Amino acid sequence: MDRREFLGATAAATLKTARPARFELEEITIDELARGLDNGNHTARSLTSAYLERIQAMDKRGPAVNAVIELNRDALKIAAELDRLPRDKRGRLHGIPVLLKDNIDTADAMHTTAGSLALVEAPAPADATVTKRLREAGAVILGKTNLSEWANFRSTHASSGWSGRGGQTRNPYVLSRNPCGSSSGSAVAVTANFCAIAVGTETDGSIVCPASMNGIVGIKPTLGLVSRAGIIPIAHSQDTAGPMARTVRDAAVLLGVLAGIDPRDPATADANLNIAVDYTKHLDLNGLRGARLGVARKFFTMGMAVDRLMTGVLDKLKQLGAEIVDPVELPSHGQYDATELEVLLYEFKADLGEYLRGRGGPMKSLADVMAFNTQSTVEMQWFGQELMEQAQQKGPLTEKAYLEALEKNHRLSRKEGIDAVLAQHKLDAVIAPTAGPAWLTDLVTGDHDTGGCSTPAAVAGYPHITVPAGFVHGLPVGLSFFGTAWSEPVLLRLAYAFEQGSKARRIPGFLRT
């Protein structure tokens, strides 16, 4: 065997797949599941059973991606009850299995912990509004997904997808790679076909980054479109739940279920005139024709391979009828990074304390959680709690430092940021690579990411959609579309046209390394 043959054989051995046999529901969509339920090929119980079996076979055994932190012991019973409903009583997601991130309250036998052992002994007293809307739509909640503990707001050098309660989630494309976070388990579960759809949450990047690195669609909605009531918080000025799905259409269906006004969350009052009854009506195969898209080149920092991929993506967008404005620059790019963290620190202390006091149990404040972590042999085994310590030093939300930072963030990210560049170039949306390819998971020194474009939309509270764009050395990379407040219909139209024109998604291979 010569050197070339030896290297080829070594590479083949290295990339040996752990992927199991084809799953009967692999890549199935909500519409296909609904048709199967209507014509009797499926029942809610049979679907639930099939997904539960797949999770039990692949999540902790087999490839062991470790996406699901807890299964719903009542899922089969709930599904059987849904099967007995007459057709005229069935909701939009009747019988559709869904997984929830483990920071979304469920008033049932499951825990809601944000991945922390500190909250295991205190069950949630009521469903989150998101949970309630899913149940009313007829969805079957299969269980909770693992996440970066406390939605990645504990340590400055944590590993995304790790929690004290759930351990480390792995990327199904290459198991030694990281899934990104904090909605790690939701993204992995969707791409691994453990469910039809899942719900994640984002403060800055926690939906779009894991969606990008796991080859799926993720939507971070406009702040206030989806209620935050009953979701363990980081910061009320940026937090939102959102859909994670394998297709834009499925994500649009889920968004329509999640969106709505909620007296428990005052921010949703602003959504009164901006909620679409059916977001799928905005999906258009020709949705890119005549669209003006601005290329935010300052986010092209993820290496030459990603740049080469994006060159092909821009060519595809042009072929599909888009007018590309390249480059465009957000006037305030990078000018509010420090004040974003300042706001998050203040709000985390205040918002988490309010949530914990309303929930009940031994944890009443951020200080209580920090004390628990210090005494735990599990929680502090890999990472500290530097961000929590910084937050604990902050005062009330009436302090001048907080108010000035919040005003600066909103002004620079909105009027002098996204809105300014859209108006200047008459754009429908701004585009950029969502994130680089997944890095190697490293519990010792934490994440080694190469950047992303999530911050402007996150700080502004504006919508952001990522769609699979292609692969770099077998690892997925997403394309981001973001725009002004309440522009979900526009972004969905653009994202759907690109998705259908590019067909970039591939099923993960569960490669070992």
Catalytic residue of the set 182, 212, 480, 487: 182
Say how far apart CA 59 and CA 66 lie, in whole Å: 5
Catalytic residue among 116, 148, 155, 206: 206
Backbone angles phi, psi at 248, to 5 degrees: -65, -40
- Annotated active-site residue 101? The verdict is yes
Token duo for residue 469: 């764009």
In which region does residue 151 sit, left (phi positive, over 0), alpha (psi from -120 to 50) or beta (all else)? left
DSSP 258-278: HB---TT-GGGGGGTTT--S-
Residue 389, classified by CB atoms within 10 Å of its CB into exposed (0-12), middle (13-18) or buried (19+), is middle
- CA separation for the pair 127, 110 (Å, rounded): 11
Q: DSSP states of 176-244 as a string?
A: TB---SSSHHHHHHHHTTSSSEEEEEESSSTTHHHHHHTT-EEEEPPTTSB--TTB--S-TTT-EEEEE
CA-closest candidate to residue 228, choices 352, 410, 118? 352
Residue 418 corresponds to which tokens in the numbers above? 């996204």
Q: What's the CA gap between 47 and 25, in Å, rounded?
A: 8
Residue type at position 388: M
The token pair that represents 476 in the structure block: 């997925």
Phi/psi of residue 344, each to 5°?
-65, -40
Which residue reads 């008033």 in tokens? 107
Beta bridge mates, 163: 167
349 classed as catalytic: no
State the DSSP code for 165. Answer: T
Cβ atoms < 10 Å from Cβ of 365: 15
The catalytic residue among 101, 144, 316, 394 is 101
Q: What is the DSSP letter of 412?
A: I
Q: How many CB atoms lie within 10 A of CB 157?
A: 13
Q: What is the dihedral of CA 83, 84, 88, 90, to 10 degrees?
A: -40
For residues 463 and 415, is the Cβ–Cβ distance under 8 A? Answer: no
Per the annotation, the verdict on 400 as an active-site residue is no
Are 376 and 117 in contact by the 8 Å Cβ rule? The answer is: yes
How far is the C-alpha of 483 from the C-alpha of 418, rounded, in Å?
Answer: 7
Neighbours of 357 (CB within 10 A): 12
CA distance 197 to 187: 9
* Catalytic annotation, residues: 101, 182, 206
